[in-house]
Amino acid sequence: MSQPGHTAARGHLRLAGTPSPRRRPNRRFLLVLRATAAALMLAWVTAAASIAAVVALLPLAWRRAPLGRRLRPPRPDARVIPLQPRRREASR
C-alpha cells in the first residue's frame, strides 16, 4: 500500500536497511573483572617503572658527594716571565 505524500519526501525511508541483531549485553561481572585486571596491570607497570628508576639512580646515591662546597680546581700560581734585556744601539 502506497503512502500519501510526495515521493521525494519519503525517499530516505526506502533506503533504510533492516536493523542489525542486538548483541547480548556484557554482564556486570565481566566488566568489573576487566576493570580489576586493568587496575592490577596498571599497578604492576607503575611498580616496575618505580623500581627501574630507583635502580637507574642508585649509582648517583652510591657515590659520595662532596660536603659543604663545590669542588673547584686550584688556581694556577701566577708566573713571572722574565723579559730579555734591551739591545743597545751602537749608532748613538
In contact, 65 and 71? CB cutoff 8 Å? no
> Residue 12's pLDDT band (boundaries 50, 70, 90)?
low
Residues 43-82 as b or e (16 or more Cβ within 10 Å = b): eeeeeeeeeeeeeeeeeeeeeeeeeeeeeeeeeeeeeeee
Which residues, 6 or more positions from 10, have their beta carbon under 8 angstroms from its beta carbon?
3
Greater confidence (24 vs 55) lies with: 55
pTM (predicted TM-score): 0.42
Greater confidence (4 vs 21) lies with: 21
Domain boundaries, the chain: 24-62
* Distance (Å, whole) CA 55 – CA 57: 6
Note the pLDDT tens digit of each residue in 42-87.
999 999 999 999 999 988 877 766 566 666 777 888 888 888 888 7
Mean pLDDT for the stretch of residues 13-18: 63
